[in-house]
Structure 1
Amino acid sequence: MSMFKKLLASVGIGSAQVDTRLEQDSLAPGEVLSGEVHLTGGDVAQEIDEIYMYVITHYERETNNNKVKEECVLLKHRLTERIVLSPREHRVLPFAFRLPYETPLTMGRQPVYLRTGLDIKNAIDPGDSDYIEVRPHPLMTKVLDAVQQLGFQLFKVDCEYNRHLGKTYPFVQEFEFRPTGSYRSRLEELEIVFFLREDSLEVFMELDKRARGFFGALEEAFSLDERFVRFRLHQEDLHRTASEIAGAIEQMIRKQLR
């Protein structure tokens, strides 16, 4: 009977189970993700080589004129080394680690989730997945509010493969805005990419100028209609109002549109 139970456990029937419980499932990049991993033994004792936790997201990559989704592991956290879990034993293991500063925001349909798994030899690894809401860092919120004050409306947010701009990971998260105010006649769109660090936020901004006449069409054909702006905010900028930051951004935009 014992051998039969071991056989069943090896294919996942009557095997150990894992349940991850997050202390909070809404965080900003750079904040600490914490909680508990609850282990419940199965019908037989099992050796668990390790308990691993992955923070995962997806991004789009263009291949042969088709867009495909690819998985990206943002972080791997090893919770514990080898343990033996007795039949029906219940064990609770706390965890805490910092969410990477480059974690994309879960705006639109962008997923970020924590995958917990048990590495058990000669058996199907039990696992658990928990979605995480990643909200903007306060410095990001300042920029997003400022841009909207200038009359730009957020149109699309997605993660795109980009080896040139991507630093730690092979993608960047792009925030695409459409002008609705005074810039409507001069710009097609405004794209923003954030590079968050512990004490600062670098902002990369691309301005797509609206083509005007023959020379405007030439500029668009040769991608000369795109202008780029880069600036950085620090923790002390949190004391500035969104209107103050909007004024500074507007000066940079106007300089590029001259």
Structure 2
Amino acid sequence: MSFFNKILASVGVGSAKVDAKLSKSSIMIGEKVEGVIDVQGGNVEQAVDEIYLTVNTNYEKEQDDRVINKHVVIATIKLNEPFVIMPGETKTFPFQIEMPLDTPVSVGSSQVWIQTGVDIKGAVDPQDRDIVTILPNNMMDQILNVMKELGFSLRKVKNEEASFKLRKRLPFVQEFEFIPTSGSYYGKFDEVEVMFFLIDDQKIEVVVEVDRRARGLAGLFSEALDLDESIIKFTIEENELHQVKNIFKEILENHS
């Protein structure tokens, strides 16, 4: 029976199981979250090489005139030295994980999850997946509120593949797409896209892409050539956030 159980465990039947438990499921970018991982033994003794955690997300990529969804690992953490789990035994491992500063916010089509895996030689590795909600930090939140104050509504948020000129460590950028729905900028822009690149917990780089609304034949010609788009970058520290509204006003006035 023991030999038969080993054969079954090698294909995942009666093998060890893993379950990650986070202290909370809503996490701010840059925040540390604690948790525990329970490894429960199966029907046979098994040697565990390591336990690992990965932070994951999805993004869109255009390929052959169609959009495909891609997966990317944002961070990886290895937790332990090799150990043996006995049949029916449960071992618990505490952990702490910090959400990287370039983790996308959980809004729109963006999804972030923590994958927990146990590496067992000669067996199907058990895994556990936990969806987490990633919240913007204070600087991002204040900038998003400024757009609302200026009469813009958030239309769409997505993670999209980007060129090396625009992106940083990850192969994509998260775009917050706004449209003017009231105020002095209504009718002047097709859309305004905002992207955030946190430098640290006190400083942020903001990229603004302005898409002007076409006016007349010349405007339509410019729009067809993508000449109506302008990209502006600026860096601001947390103690300068009171200036953000005026910065956006100047950008919008210069490109309206």
TMscore range, shorter length: over 0.9
Alignment partner, residue 219 of structure 2? 216
RMSD: 1.2
Deviations 1:26-45 (A, max 9, x none): 11111113200011111111
Which runs of structure 2 are paired with 1:60-139 in the superposition (5 Å)? 60-139=60-139
Alignment partner, residue 195 of structure 2? 193
Give the secondary-structure state (helix, strand or coil) at the position aligned to 2:255. helix
Give the secondary-structure state (helix, strand or coil) at the position aligned to 1:69. strand
Alignment partner, residue 253 of structure 2? 254
Query: Does residue 203 of structure 2 align to residue 205 of structure 1?
Result: no
Gaps of 5+ in 2: none
Give the secondary-structure state (helix, strand or coil) at the position aligned to 2:15. coil
1:136, CA displacement in angstroms? Answer: 0.8
Deviations 1:55-91 (A, max 9, x none): 0000000000010000000011111121111111111
Contact 2:55 2:76 in 1 (8 A): yes
Instruction: Find the aligned partners of 1:224 and 1:152 in 2 and give their Cα distance.
Output: 22
1:97, CA displacement in angstroms? Answer: 2.3
1:112, CA displacement in angstroms? Answer: 0.2
Q: What is the identity percentage for the equivalent residue pairs of Structure 1 and Structure 2?
A: 40
Which runs of structure 2 are paired with 1:31-70 in the superposition (5 Å)? 31-70=31-70
Instruction: Find the aligned partners of 1:98 and 1:29 in 2 and give their Cα distance.
Output: 8
Instruction: Find the aligned partners of 2:132 and 2:187 in 1 and give their Cα distance.
Output: 39
Query: Does residue 169 of structure 2 align to residue 174 of structure 1?
Result: no
1:109, CA displacement in angstroms? Answer: 2.8
Give the residue type in structure 2 aligned to 1:256.
H
Instruction: Find the aligned partners of 2:112 and 2:198 in 1 and give their Cα distance.
Output: 17
Give the residue type in structure 2 aligned to 1:236.
N
Give the secondary-structure state (helix, strand or coil) at the position aligned to 2:77. strand
Alignment partner, residue 234 of structure 1? 237
Deviations 1:13-36 (A, max 9, x none): 111111100011111111113200
Deviations 1:98-130 (A, max 9, x none): 111000000023110000011111111101000
1:166, CA displacement in angstroms? Answer: 1.5
Alignment partner, residue 162 of structure 1? 162
Runs of 4+ in 1 over 3 A off after TM superposition: none
Q: How many residues align?
A: 253
Contact 1:139 1:233 in 2 (8 A): no
Instruction: Find the aligned partners of 2:229 and 2:123 in 1 and give their Cα distance.
Output: 54
Give the secondary-structure state (helix, strand or coil) at the position aligned to 2:214. coil
TM-score, normalised to structure 2's length?
A: 0.95
Gaps of 5+ in 1: none
1:163, CA displacement in angstroms? Answer: 2.4
Instruction: Find the aligned partners of 2:118 and 2:169 in 1 and give their Cα distance.
Output: 27
Deviations 1:118-156 (A, max 9, x none): 111111110100011001111000100001100000000
Give the residue type in structure 1 aligned to 2:193.
E
Contact 2:212 2:255 in 1 (8 A): no
Contact 1:112 1:131 in 2 (8 A): yes
Instruction: Find the aligned partners of 1:237 and 1:97 in 2 and give their Cα distance.
Output: 29
Deviations 1:158-210 (A, max 9, x none): 00001231211100000000111221221110001100121311110011001
Instruction: Find the aligned partners of 2:108 and 2:216 in 1 and give their Cα distance.
Output: 35
Give the secondary-structure state (helix, strand or coil) at the position aligned to 1:141. helix
